[in-house]
Amino acid sequence: MTEKIVLAYSGGLDTSVAIGWIHDATGADVIACAVDVGQGGEDLEVIRQRALDCGAVEAYVADARDEFADEYCMAALQANSLYMDAYPNVSAISRPVITKHLVKAAKKFGATTVAHGCTGKGNDQVRFEVSITSLAPELKCIAPVRDLALTRDKAIEYAERKGLPIETTKHNPFSIDQNVWGRAIETGFLEDIWNEPTKDVFSYTDDPAFPPVADEVVISFERGIPVAIDGRKVSALEAIQELNRRAGAQGIGRIDIVEDRLVGIKSREVYEAPGAMTLITAHQELERVTLEREQARFKRTVSDRWTDLVYDGQWFSPLKKSLDAFIADTQRYVSGDIRMTLHGGRATVTGRRTETGLYDFHLATYDEGDTFDQGSARGFIDIYGLAAKQAAARDVAFGNGEDLDAGEGRA
């Protein structure tokens, strides 16, 4: 019986060429697996037919937009996931949901191997293969670009020689990955980190230097999940899509960083994530009102570790699952409304309203109605500073006290 290989299929140049390339190199039948995570563009039926036209024996397609938004984007939102404090893990969180459908397709068609279009120097090869073997340890993985010497020049030549129905050519130098959570752009002239991105790099966002009139929005959350915008109930997917449109029109969510890849390479990456960055900004502010101080501090540590794990392809790891449980517990009281002004590249919080918050007006106010007992502050300070006071006294006793004259006379 002919071996079957399931290929993660996007409909673009590399994966379209990979169908025939894999068959020629291995003799296996190729099954294309296309997963819609909100990347826009062509519908799944068009992509399915293209895969068959390019030589796939079967095509598995899945509309995973709601699944992706509900289970992956919302997990990233509750974690306030920002790799290197900047990147909302746009590509990283899409790989595990795509992987789940690759494994489903492999089981459905009896495939022994899963293939993906990643290079040998990127993060996605790790994300796909670690996720695949975490879900189905018996499956093998191959990467045509990495393992079968499928370079971009060879892919273009192969596509032209075979007359494959794809549009990508040498005139499109960028490598682009996008979904509803955001858009990632790399390669081409962006590899010179002195070069400024040109207007044609961007698609999800308009130029923030020429914004329309300011847009006020109220985002309502329940347990850390957006459930309404301006009082209108929305699904997670609808919340992201609406804020992509409204924040994108204001140029919000443009990110340009030199990023530390898992494989040890520094890479220049440009991202657009208007909805994601607006939601994360709102969610962080609501947490400031609703999380207890030490809980909030520790959650930042957990969120950083969660983010690194996800970036590094460990979505299905035991540690990530344990961190999920902690993050979910912190969201118990993260409910309420955040009012924001979207304008000129900035999402600015202007109001907070919650019934589950820890902000108490009567404790905070300096005016009439103050219920804080200021007389208790002296005893608190005495106890709080006692350890430092004792240590300072010892320093003085042994001649190691602070030199108060040090630095005098210096410019």
Active site residues: 14, 95, 124, 175
204 in a labelled binding site = no
16 annotated as ligand-binding: yes
The answer to whether 205 is annotated as binding is: no
Q: How far apart are CA 204 and CA 175, in angstroms?
A: 16
317 is in an annotated binding site: no
Residue 305 annotated as lining a ligand binding site? no
The answer to the question of whether 333 is labelled as a binding residue is no
Residue 153 annotated as binding site: no
Residue 44 in contact with residue 36, Cβ under 8 Å?
yes
Residue corresponding to tokens 């009082």: 231
End-to-end CA distance of the chain: 83
108 touches 252 (CB < 8 A): no
357 has binding-site annotation: no
Q: Do the annotations mark residue 124 as ligand-binding?
A: yes
355 is in an annotated binding site: no
366 is in an annotated binding site: no
Q: Is 127 annotated as a binding residue?
A: yes
Instruction: List the alpha helices (DSSP H) in 110-151.
Output: 124-135, 144-147
Q: Is 237 annotated as a binding residue?
A: no
Q: How far is CA 129 from the centre of its chain?
A: 19
CB atoms within 10 A of CB 312: 18
Q: Classify strands 254-260 and 232-233 as parallel, antiparallel or unpaired.
A: unpaired
Helices 293-311 and 274-290 cross at an angle (nearest 10°) of 150
Q: Considering all CA atoms of the chain, what is the largest pairwise distance in Å, rounded to the nearest integer?
A: 87
Give residue 45's Cα distance to chain centre: 27
384 is in an annotated binding site: no
To the question of whether residue 259 is assigned a binding role by annotation, the answer is: yes
13 labeled part of a ligand binding site: yes
Instruction: Determine the Cα–Cα distance for residues 23 and 4; give it in Å rounded to an integer.
Output: 10
* Phi/psi at 347 (5° precision): -110, 105
11 among annotated binding-site residues: yes
User: Phi/psi of residue 175, each to 5°?
Assistant: -100, 120
Alpha helix segments (H runs only) across 265-360: 274-290, 293-311, 318-330
Q: Residue 274's closest CA among 255, 247, 236, 239?
A: 247
* Residue ranges of the binding site for ATP: 8-16, 117
Residue ranges for the binding site for L-aspartate? Answer: 119, 123-124
**Binding site listing for L-citrulline:** 87, 123, 127, 175, 259, 271
Q: Which residues are annotated as a binding site?
A: 8-16, 87, 117, 119, 123-124, 127, 175, 259, 271
